[in-house]
Copies of this chain bind each other. A is one copy, B any other.
């Protein structure tokens, strides 16, 4: 039986790093965090109460989820919380310290589906806390984010602040699968200010970015074409060829016109069709991603892609289905929040560089939580916390300097106090 109770943030981060759990499989992570926050007096909403179950995107097969849950149990996840979660991960935890505003902090908790470097050039390997789950790795710093979430809870345990704290431990950020379903609950309805944060992003430890703006919008869809098999030699005319439909679609997806208003992208990833050479293909599947410099451009690409898919299928008398695998949108930070973060950062000892707003570059599904808060009249900022990452995000050698964990907790708690005061 594991417990975070006696562990430092660094130790928590390392424990999570050794036990990475990919999207919608974060049973051990959720349960251990829940146990810790429970002890700290938070009200907990777990799994089915933390996300809108019906709106989840890119959910793995039932078998995969069940196996992940079993693994979590085996690896010391407290069973009480596993039972509450049923087969859904994620956690919203709330604690009232004073009459002031409700301030949220969102951290993401999932790992990537990739293997970790195991040689001595890589500190996690050298120091014995590399992933013990082949094919899963915390290669984007979410282990640190989770630890920071715990750290913020601990930090307010003694003095609190004049308001209510709501911590959002979001599952399945990779692929943009968990942000939307977590935003489609009522947990954000009373949030006056929301902070999200990211470690690393190629900044040195000690650097704070007041607000990353305008992440790219994207959408990922899974497509299945369903035709009719036929013997390719004996009766080619009787087939309805799902593969011809898919190939026509691929050719035309890449040829969607560029847009003068900004950046657009499209890509087709996983492709499969699994019939014999002498059978007209009856089923073909693919994964598609579109991106846009903003939400309109993303919508443009998605609308064009859907038209291509529909008519490539119809052209070959083939049925098709699409399902959304994941998506992100974009946002702009509120200047008041950026100002609060920058002012807070100036107060933190180990911070030696404070930057203003900066474009985000990548995609991020905190965007859905941030927009929900802003639509309700609240304010938000997405903070950058430098962590001297020695290798790029998502690579086998990604790591973060752990001094960044305490810096992040200090910047976030100080920002919360300031914002709570401002909003009073």
Contact = CB atoms under 8 A, between A and B. Distances in A.
Interface of A: 216, 218, 220, 232-237, 239, 241, 243-244, 246-248, 250-252, 254-255, 257-261, 263-281, 284, 287-289, 291, 300, 307-308, 310-312, 314-317, 325, 361-363
A108 to B, nearest CB: 17
A176 to B, nearest CB: 10
Nearest to A267: B232
Binding site secondary structure of chain A:
mixed
B277 A260 contact: no
Contacts of A218: 233, 278
18 contacts: A233-B267, A236-B259, A237-B300, A244-B251, A251-B251, A252-B315, A267-B278, A269-B279, A270-B274, A272-B274, A276-B287, A277-B289, A307-B315, A310-B314, A311-B312, A311-B315, A312-B315, A314-B314
A275 B286 CA distance: 10
A266 B279 CA distance: 10
A300 B284 CA distance: 25
Nearest to A270: B274
B248 A236 contact: no
A110 B104 CA distance: 65
A270 B276 contact: yes
A352 B306 CA distance: 51
For the complex formed by this chain, how many copies does it contain in all?
A: 4
A237 B248 CA distance: 20
Nearest to A236: B257
B272 A232 contact: no
A274 B270 CA distance: 4
Contacts of A220: 277
Contacts of A270: 273-277
B258 A258 contact: yes
B243 A252 contact: no
Nearest to A239: B257
Given A267-B279, A271-B271, A312-B311, A244 B236 contact: no
A232 B266 CA distance: 7
